[in-house]
């Protein structure tokens, strides 16, 4: 059995063909959106879905969503001028950077031997009850 391209496979089966066609429509709508929306808004938002003439756009923040909502009538007109049958646009706030905020702290920064010695000398010159002295001591101990 000869290897088939992914595109041929996606277009062959009924359900996969519909999914592939929908994904293609979303890509085209995204390209149109990037052309018609101001660049600072297009960089912070993306086309998320399209169904029955309604485009759903996800914005990275409430401010971007508010500005997009102000532009909805002109965006709908521009979509139509570009050949997309858009009758409604819904804007939702869906930040893309949320997962990055919940990451666990990484490993302590690497500090070279000479830097460690310098930090030790600096810490030794500080008062015994100094918070900076304690922090420098922890940094030196935790570094690789």
Query: Is the domain of 85 the same as that of 125?
Result: no
Domain coverage including residue 126 = 113-142
Q: Structural domain tally of the chain? A: 2
pLDDT tens, per residue, the chain with 144 residues: 556 676 666 566 666 778 888 899 999 999 999 999 999 999 999 999 999 999 999 999 999 999 999 999 999 999 999 999 999 999 999 987 654 555 555 665 567 888 888 888 888 888 888 888 888 888 888 775
**What is the DSSP secondary-structure string of the chain?**
-----HHHHHHHSHHHHHHHHHHHHHHHHHHHHHHHS-HHHHTTEEEEEEETTEEEEEESSHHHHHHHHHTHHHHHHHHHHTT----EEEEEE--SSHHHHTPPP-PPPP--HHHHHHHHHHHHTS-TT-HHHHHHHHHHHH--
Q: What is the CATH number of the domain that holds 22?
A: 3.30.300.180
- In this structure, is residue 105 part of a structural domain? no
> What is the pTM (predicted TM-score) of this model?
0.59
């Amino acid at each position: 059995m000869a290897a088939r391209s992914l595109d041929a496979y996606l277009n062959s089966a009924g359900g996969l063909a519909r999914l592939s066609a929908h994904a293609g429509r979303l890509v085209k709508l995204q390209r149109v959106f990037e052309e018609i929306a101001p660049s600072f808004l297009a960089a912070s938002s993306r086309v998320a879905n399209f169904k029955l003439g309604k485009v759903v756009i996800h914005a990275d923040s409430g401010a971007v969503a508010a500005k997009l909502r102000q532009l909805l009538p002109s965006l709908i007109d521009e979509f139509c001028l570009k050949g997309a049958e858009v009758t409604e646009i819904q804007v939702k706030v869906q930040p893309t950077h949320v997962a990055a905020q919940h990451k666990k702290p990484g490993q302590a920064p690497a500090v070279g031997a000479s830097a460690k010695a310098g930090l030790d000398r600096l810490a030794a010159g500080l008062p015994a009850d100094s918070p900076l002295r304690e922090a420098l001591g922890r940094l030196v101990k935790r570094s690789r």
